[in-house]
Each structure stands twice: as structure tokens, then as C-alpha cells.
Amino acid sequence: MKSCTICGAELAPLAKLEFCRSCRTKLTQIRYYEKHKDKLSDYQREYREKHRAWINAKAKERRKKNPPEHSPGKLYYRKMRGLPLYGPIKKRKNGEGSIDYQGYKTITVKGHPNQMDLKGRIREHVYVMSQYLGRPLKTKTESVHHKNGIRTDNRIENLELWHRGQPPGQRLEDKVNWAIEFLKEYGYTVDK
């Protein structure tokens, strides 16, 4: 099977040339431009000067029909998110937060020990639970669970503190020692 030497596209079995049609067209245009470079640049300059008013009017008309806030990229963004294609996008008020890709509401609280990034974003349920406990959550061993399963329902009545730490060993002594340390960590007194 023959293929184009430039782009690698498959050619017809009886093709005489080693280029596909689009590569041949591009090569022809490049050769013509190199051969008539001086004439073309003068012609283009003259054309622009001669028709400047018409070109500017066309550009203004295009801009009216498709203003910068409705560029193709922004239209695609709106279409994919189910937003109205034309008209202003509703901006969030300060402190309103946003929904992240996993469905949790995130807010900005700069300087909080449980913040996710340098911007100070924190998931709202983590912030509510840390305020309720009066301390930051232990990120490696504690997590917050929504009782009703709705990730945006961040009322304290709907939140539970879960612990996901486990003892590393399987011997009875290891598990008992881990349980004693766990109870002491959360303020319980342990009598043997």
C-alpha cells in the first residue's frame, strides 16, 4: 500500500505521485508564493490600503454578530454546561462557594489547616465539622460522612466524623495497644 511521504496518508493503489491531494496543493501554493513573493506582498499591501474602509466595516459587523464574550470557545463552554448561549453568565457572590468535580461544595477559608491548596479552598463539610469540634481534622485518619448521601447538604445534623485508621498488626496485643492509643487520643481514660 502506498502512502504520502509528507503526512503518511494512504494513497490509491494506482497513484503516480508520492503525495496526497492536500499535500500537493500545499506544496503548489508554497512554490507559487516563493516564486512571486515580491509581487504578492505589494499586491496585498495595495489591496489593504485601497479597501481599508470596507475591511474595517466587515470586521465591525462580524464583532457585532459575535462579540468577544460569545467567542466559539465560550459558546462551547456554555453549551456543554447547559448555560444560556447568549447573555451574561451569572457570577457567584463572595462566600457562596462552588461545586467541585466530585460533587462537594468548596469554599475559600485562607489559613485553615485543612485547606486543599494554596488558594485556601476547603470542602464545606470538612470546615463545618472542624468548627463543630473546635479543632482541625486529622487528615490521615479522619473523614466526614454525609448521613443522607447528599454531598451538598452540609448541616451538622447530617454529618458524621469517621475514623479510618487501622492497627498495622494482626496479633491480639497489637490491636489492644492500638485500641488503647485510639481511646486516649479522643480523650477517654482506659483502665486495664
Q: Are 151 and 102 in contact (CB under 8 A)?
A: yes
The answer, yes or no, to whether residue 3 has pLDDT greater than 90, is: no
Q: How confident is the model at residue 127 (pLDDT cuts 50, 70, 90)?
A: very high
Greatest mean pLDDT range, 14-18, 139-143, 156-160: 156-160
- H helical segments located in 51-191: 52-65, 72-81, 124-133, 172-185
pTM of structure: 0.49
Evaluate if residue 172 carries a pLDDT over 80.
no
Terminal CA-CA length for the chain: 83
Task: Provide the 3-class DSSP secondary structure of residue 182.
Answer: helix
Q: pLDDT-based confidence at 107, cuts 50/70/90?
A: very high
Q: What is the pLDDT of residue 61?
A: 83
